[in-house]
Amino acid sequence: MKMLINVPETVVADALRGMAAAHPELTVDVENRVVVRKDAPVAGKVGLVSGGGSGHEPLHGGFVGPGMLSAACPGEVFTSPVPDQMVRAAAAVDSGAGVLFIVKNYTGDVLNFDMAAELAEDEGVQVAKVLVNDDVAVTDSLYTAGRRGTGATLFVEKIAGAAAEEGQPLERVTALAKQVNENSRSFGVALSAVTTPAKGSPTFDLPAGELELGIGIHGEPGRERRPMMTSGEIADFAVGAILDDLTPRNPVLVLVNGMGATPLLELYGFNAEVQRVLAERGVPVARVLVGNYVTSLDMAGASVTLCQVDEELLRLYDAPVSTPGLRWGM
């Protein structure tokens, strides 16, 4: 496989050095693997810290900045960051108002963030946690006990980040983050397997002419494998699976997310089919976001995330944000 890298062992460090050069508004500690907004800590503001394995960019480092995360901890590719990174991040962003850890439901992430919370609290930092577990495809997977955390992570980070930016207290920011997660569901589809730099070849076998329904962002198996389907058929299946699990009473935010190797031409076409299904099912749409936000290296495919919102959640979603991966209103 051809990759634009030097050697697999330095791929994360090289990416962080490049990120530092491209985004002087961030403090990028390459050695300790922590990305922090330059003005942290902000007086009176709750700090938001997230992180996970690299390979899902722009998640999470690309979502650090005003209106979203205060800091992010990138692990090795598809590997959880370690507690020391999280403690360092918490200390860097804590202004005395507390820190919220936003954790995707993968076993390594959960264990390490739990340990980091204990260590940070020993150092006098008040820590709260929210677990993102929005994927309806499978109950358990290779990496999780319970549902996986996927596209809803973006909505949690954006809405909680806006609340923190307003100076809302830790308890309220945490409650909003949990509300977003509880009102979000996702479903992903893979058209090709993912290739990690260390392996240099596809990590699972997906024959030509087939697709995997319900895939995870690390290439975990989904619900079933089928012959290739049309964009409309995939939208029917994916949105149907979400709405079987979530009955929106309010308008929804829609994320049509690329897995890394799917062109925008295809993603916008897929979004047209997603919107068709939602209209047929009588689900009102408040906002739509299309692009590569929660990726899986070079995997072709897409995921759909729906999040039902009230007026407050929609206001916070619309609030200004300025990060490398998400920017509006500033």
Active-site hit among 37, 56, 88, 158: 56
Alpha carbon 330 to its chain's center: 22
Q: List the one residue out of 240, 229, 246 whose CA is nearest residue 281.
A: 240
27-33: Cβ within 8 A, 24+ apart:
27/92, 28/61, 29/88, 32/84, 32/85, 32/88, 33/73, 33/74, 33/75, 33/81, 33/85
Indicate if 218 belongs to the active site. Answer: yes
Grouping H, G, I as helix, E, B as strand and the rest as coil, residue 237 is helix
Residues 101-126 as b/e (b if ≥16 CB within 10 A, e otherwise) read: bbbbbbebbbebbbebbebbeeeebb
Active-site hit among 218, 259, 270, 289: 218
Q: List the one residue out of 313, 262, 305 whose CA is nearest residue 136.
A: 305
Indicate if 60 belongs to the active site. Answer: no
What DSSP string describes 249-285?
SS-EEEEEEE-BSS-HHHHHHHHHHHHHHHHHTT--E
Alpha carbon 217 to its chain's center: 10
Residues assigned a catalytic role: 56, 218
